[in-house]
Amino acid sequence: MPISTRKEVAKLAGVSEATVSRVLNGVGPIREETRRKVLEAAERLSYHPSAIARSFARRRSGNIGVVLPHVPKVHLFSTYYFSEVLSGIGEAVREAGYDLLLLFRAIDETPDYPLYYQTQKIDGCLLLGTMDTAREREALDRLAEQDLPFCLVNQHFYGKPYPSVDADHIRGAASAVRHLLELGVRRVAFVNGPAAYSSSGERLRGYRQALTEAGITFDPGLVLEGNYSRTSGVRAGNELLRRRGGYDAVFAANDRMAIGVMQAFKAAGVEAGRELPIAGYDDSDASRLSDPPLTTVKVPFYEMGRLAAERVIRRLSGDGAREETTGESRLLLPTELIVRQSTSNWGG
């Protein structure tokens, strides 16, 4: 006999999946009529909730976990993105009276997120640096099926309603490219990040959108891929130097790669900002200190971390169930174009 799911119980009882979870785990106030419908539906379908979910409802560790990728020789905490997101998470966790537990996993290993809950290491989970792979989707499906509180930060998975807090990278990238086109350039080279990150795909969509609006045909030959590191930006910059004359502006998907491009240009005697406009993305501290200061797109990473933690904490208190079941699983924050000398000095 096929194993019944919580979704089937919810459909038969005429309630949400979150309500089924609360009834079967004994969490929160539930109307007696609703409780009876759920229990009858579960009995008819022979549905039994997972042991992990039941034990989670009864026991707490007091920890909110943050899962981070472990990349050898990469100092995550010194990067603007991770430091800002973690600062926002830490603030929300502290205010709610929880402790923060950092959990590292190798990017090539198969994650077992429910195990963190089963062993009572954490009560809720925030995931940073996740990549869209079949293995990752399978792991996240297990979290969702067991109704364990979690939230993705700066990543979402198309076709999956995983809870996430993200930024509007399509509009952000489009605003940067429009700004470059308004300077009078026509061929904008784009240094993007790995396709496994949803933000990379959305920045590419924003780049293409701005070109289309300006009546410019997309040229895939003008798109290079880095890995969001400064070193990969230097490599991209050296490749662009070999193609000199095939483009008249550069947009990079983060500030570190943009600065790497500028360093490669400077070493070759090309004055970025004056001879060639260049824009980055993130509005990191380094963008203000680069030479020249970098035009970029401000992303509210601190707010993303804080709001993601608050969502998980609301789930733990029983107040966040509705947003997980009404198509509101992805929270999208606005971005802002910041113009500095790397574009404003062009042609001067």
Two tokens, residue 235: 């490599």
Average pLDDT over residues 98-123: 87
| 145 in any annotated domain | yes
Q: What is the pLDDT of residue 241?
A: 96
Is 295 found in the same domain as 173?
yes
Is 281 found in the same domain as 176?
yes
The residue with greater pLDDT, 271 or 30, is 271
Is 266 found in the same domain as 276?
yes
Residues 207-220 pLDDT 10s: 999 999 999 999 99
Q: What is the pLDDT of residue 208?
A: 98
Is 213 found in the same domain as 340?
yes
Q: What is the pLDDT of residue 317?
A: 80
**C-alpha distances out from residue 340 to 70, 180, 229, 289, 345, Å:** 34, 12, 21, 11, 8
Q: What is the pLDDT of residue 177?
A: 98
Is 284 found in the same domain as 177?
yes
Is 103 found in the same domain as 67?
yes
Query: Position of tokens 């990150």?
Result: 197
Is 82 found in the same domain as 156?
yes
Residue 339 half-sphere exposure, CB side, CA atoms within 13 Å? Answer: 12
The residue with greater pLDDT, 245 or 224, is 224
Is 45 found in the same domain as 126?
no
Given a cut of 60, whether residue 54 has pLDDT beyond it is: no
Three state DSSP letters for the chain: CCCCCHHHHHHHHCCCHHHHHHHHHCCCCCCHHHHHHHHHHHHHCCCCCCHHHHHHHHCCCCEEEEEEEECCCCCHHHCHHHHHHHHHHHHHHHHCCCEEEEEEEECCCCCCHHHHHHCCCCCEEEECCCCCCHHHHHHHHHHHHCCCCEEEECCCCCCCCCCEEEECHHHHHHHHHHHHHHCCCCCEEEEECCCCCHHHHHHHHHHHHHHHHCCCCCCHHHEEECCCCHHHHHHHHHHHHHCCCCCCEEEECCHHHHHHHHHHHHHCCCCECCCECEECCECCHHHHHCCCCCEEEECCHHHHHHHHHHHHHHHHHCCCCHHHCCCCCEEEECCEEECCHHHHCCCC
CB atoms within 10 A of CB 216: 16
Instruction: Give the range of the structural domain holding residue 213, as residue numbers without chain letter.
Output: 169-299+336-344
Cα dihedral sign, 192-194-195-198: negative
Q: What is the pLDDT of residue 327?
A: 45
The residue with greater pLDDT, 327 or 169, is 169
Is 92 found in the same domain as 78?
yes
Given a cut of 90, whether residue 181 has pLDDT beyond it is: yes
| 54 in any annotated domain | no
Whether 240 and 267 have beta carbons less than 8 Å apart is answered as no
Q: Which of 101-110, 248-257, 263-272, 330-339 has the lowest mean pLDDT?
A: 101-110
In the chain, the number of structural domains is: 3
Residue length of the chain: 348
Residues 14-50 pLDDT 10s: 988 778 877 776 655 678 888 888 888 888 888 876 5
Task: Give the Cα separation of 164 and 153 in Å (integer).
Answer: 6
Is 182 found in the same domain as 287?
yes
Q: What is the pLDDT of residue 75?
A: 65
CB atoms within 10 A of CB 174: 25
Is 178 found in the same domain as 163?
no
CATH number at residue 235: 3.40.50.2300
Is 124 found in the same domain as 144?
yes
Would you place residue 1 in the very low, low, confident or very high pLDDT band (cuts 50, 70, 90)?
very low
| 1 in any annotated domain | no
Given a cut of 70, whether residue 200 has pLDDT beyond it is: yes
| 43 in any annotated domain | yes
Q: What is the pLDDT of residue 25?
A: 66
What mean pLDDT, rounded, does the chain reach? 88
Q: What is the pLDDT of residue 319?
A: 62
| 176 in any annotated domain | yes
Would you place residue 193 in the very low, low, confident or very high pLDDT band (cuts 50, 70, 90)?
very high
| 57 in any annotated domain | no
Average pLDDT over residues 291-317: 95
Q: What is the pLDDT of residue 45?
A: 84
Q: What is the pLDDT of residue 326?
A: 39
